[in-house]
Chains A and B, each alone.
Chain A
Amino acid sequence: MSATLEKGIRVLKEVIDAPIASYFNSCVHCGLCAEACLFYTETGDPKYTPIHKLEPLRRIYEQEYTLLGRLKKMVGLSKAVTDDELDQWQALVYNSCTLCGRCSAVCPVGNDIVYMVRKFREGMSASGHAPAGIKDAVTRTVTVGSPMNVKLPALRAQMKHVEEDYGIPIPLDVEGAEYMVVLSSMEIMNFPEYLAAVAKIMQQAGKTWTLCSTAFEATNAGIQIGNSDLAKVIVLRIVEGAETLKVKTVISPECGHAYTALRWEGPNLIGRPFGFEVKHIIEVLGEFQAQRLLQTEGFETDRLTFHDPCQLVRRGGVIQQPRTLMNMVAKNFVEMPDAGYMNWCCGGGGGASAIEAGEDLRLEAFKKKKSQFDAVKPDRVVTACANCRIVLEESLEHYKMDIPVIGLTEMIADHISEPVPQAAAKPEGA
Chain B
Amino acid sequence: MNELQFLTWVRGTGLNIAVAIFLLGVTWRLFEIYSLGRKKDLSMPRHASGASGFHTVFRRSLAPPGMLKRSPVSYIGGYVFHIGLAVVVFGFAPHILLISNLTGLSWPGLPSQFIDLAAVVTMAAMLVMLFDRISKPVKRFLSTFEDWFTWALTFLPVLTGWMAVQHLLLPYTTMLALHILSVEILLIVLPFTKLFHAFTLFGSRWYNGRVNAHKGVPV
- List residues of chain A with CB under 8 Å of any chain B CB: 16-23, 25-32, 34-36, 40, 44, 46-47, 49, 51-52, 65-68, 104-112, 115, 263-268, 271-274, 277-278, 314-317, 338, 341-342
Contacts and interface: CB of A to CB of B under 8 A. Distances in A.
A268 B44 CA distance: 10
A34 B138 contact: yes
Contacts of A110: 56-57, 60, 201, 204-209
A111 B74 contact: no
A22 B43 contact: no
B35 to A, nearest CB: 7
A46 B137 contact: yes
Contact of A32 (B71, B140, B144): B71
In this complex, the member of A36, A68, A105, A315 whose beta carbon has the largest number of chain B beta carbons within 10 angstroms is A105
A21 B209 CA distance: 16
Given A18-B34, A31-B138, A25 B44 contact: no
Label chain B's interface by main secondary structure.
helix
Given A19-B211, A49-B138, A27 B37 contact: no
A112 B215 contact: no
Contact of B141 (A47, A104, A115): A47
Interface residues of B, number: 59
B14 interface: no
Contacts of A21: 32-34, 36
A268 B37 contact: no
Contacts of A272: 42
A85 B141 CA distance: 18
Contact of B67 (A27, A36, A47, A264): A36
Given A18-B36, A26-B201, A112 B141 contact: no
Contacts of B214: 264
Given A31-B136, A68-B192, A267 B204 contact: no
A267 B44 CA distance: 8
A316 B51 CA distance: 12
B85 to A, nearest CB: 14
A71 to B, nearest CB: 11
